[in-house]
Amino acid sequence: MDESKIRSRQTDVLMKAVLCLKDENAAYSFFEDLCTIPEIRSMSQRLEVAVLLRKKATYQEIVRQTGASTATISRVNRCLMYGLDGYNHVLEALENDGVI
């Protein structure tokens, strides 16, 4: 695995906290306490952009469906293509579970 640019003791604890969430309700409670509503919506939007990019949607279609800026779409696309495969790993798991 490539070395993360954000890894620290604090982020290690955060990632372990996310991994210990047992269900969707626990995740909602944790993220609503941890993040602002705009932060949660922004992360959700980026994940939706990643889903649409994997489905080969155009930037214009993605803007129309999600309201994301082309800068956000470009950033997500760059992560899908050249990132650490975080999006790809999660999207494959969600596809396998029939969530997306």
Say which CATH number the domain at 44 has.
1.10.1270.10
Do residues 51 and 91 make contact, with C-beta atoms less than 8 angstroms apart? yes
3-state secondary structure of 24: helix
2 located within any domain: no
CB 60 within 8 A of CB 69: no
Q: What is the pLDDT of residue 2?
A: 56
Predicted TM-score (pTM) of this structure: 0.90
Question: What does the pLDDT read at residue 43?
Answer: 98
Q: What is the DSSP letter of 96?
A: H
Are 68 and 59 within 8 A, CB to CB?
no
Q: Please count the structural domains in the chain.
A: 1
pLDDT mean values, one per 10 residues, the chain (100 residues): 82 98 98 98 98 98 98 98 96 97
Look at residue 4 in the predicted model and tell me its pLDDT. 80
- Residue 28 lies in domain: 9-96
